A and B are shown apart, each in its own frame.
Chain A
Amino acid sequence: MQTRRETMARSAAVALMLAGAGVLPARAQSAWAKAAFEGKSIDDVIKGLGIAKPVESKDIVFTAPDIAENGAVVPIAASSALPGVKRIAFLVEKNPTTLAGIFEFTEAVETNVKTRIKMGQTSNVLAVAIMGDGKVLYAQKEVKVTLGGCGG
């Protein structure tokens, strides 16, 4: 006979496994993607998110300035006309921690998001799109920073 406590523990374990496998949407995961956010290189972030190796794609439209006068506020935008983009992550290659943020879309929003990030120095910035079928596409652009946004 299974006690209620055992059942609970088991379903929690299953939920964790599913979450780890990316089956559940990020909303259902209680934890913030800590491993990915602590990553110090693009490879660390890919490993932390547990996603496939990104392939460069023209279908991801990534907009960032050529030169950012102030690294503390760098406007960036990513969009795609492709169906099935589930998440877009923004990565700054040379920041102390590479991953800036992850946006997760539902059917009710367009695959189109704008935000502002901080950059410590001139670096490649990547918009990485994670598709529903597990494919990972990216677009990148080098942004020159004349005044850093990290440290002082």
Chain B
Amino acid sequence: MSDPMRIRAQVQGGGAVVRVLMSHEMETGQRKDAAGKTIPAWHITEVVAALNGRPVLTAQWGTAIAKNPFTEFVVKGAKAGDRISISWTDNRGDKRTDEATVA
């Protein structure tokens, strides 16, 4: 099981700035190991961000998103106490969901 994401959601202006740091290798499939064998691609493919359970932002990622992906976005009208949840799925079918409260 992968490590938890670090999610920070802060009220700013009329919305909330959400910063997410996920823990994932994001292997490109381009690299070779010491024995010269190609390391297979292993990366997050889909991300869903939800506000109080309602999806607000989705993303599809390829191999070129950096290791331990970082994303920042702004949710309109989110207030302190609202719940932000982030879910990802990778190309091996692993999933993870973490939640944070807007502060």
Contact = CB atoms under 8 A, between A and B. Distances in A.
Interface of A: 25-27, 32-33, 37, 72-75, 77, 92, 95-97, 99-110, 112-120, 149-152
Interface string B51-87: 1001111111111111101111111110000000000
Contacts of A27: 48, 55, 58
A150 B31 contact: yes
Given A32-B45, A32-B46, A108 B76 contact: yes
B73 A101 contact: no
Please indicate which of the listed interface residues B55, B60, B70 has the most CB atoms of chain A within 10 Å of its own CB: B60
Nearest to B20: A115
Given A115-B71, A150-B28, A103 B57 contact: yes
Given A106-B55, A110-B73, A152 B32 contact: yes
Contact of B31 (A108, A117, A152): A152
B2 interface: no
A97 B61 CA distance: 12
Interface residues of B, number: 35
Nearest to B91: A32
Interface of B: 15, 26, 28, 30-32, 45-46, 48-49, 51, 54-67, 69-77, 91
A105 B76 CA distance: 11
A26 B66 contact: no
Given A32-B45, A99-B64, 4 more contacts: A95-B64, A100-B62, A105-B57, A110-B73
Given A27-B48, A32-B45, A118 B64 contact: yes
B76 A113 contact: no
A103 B48 CA distance: 10
B103 to A, nearest CB: 18
B56 A118 contact: no
A108 B60 contact: no
Contacts of B58: 25-27, 103-104
B66 A101 contact: no
B61 A109 contact: no
A149 B67 CA distance: 10
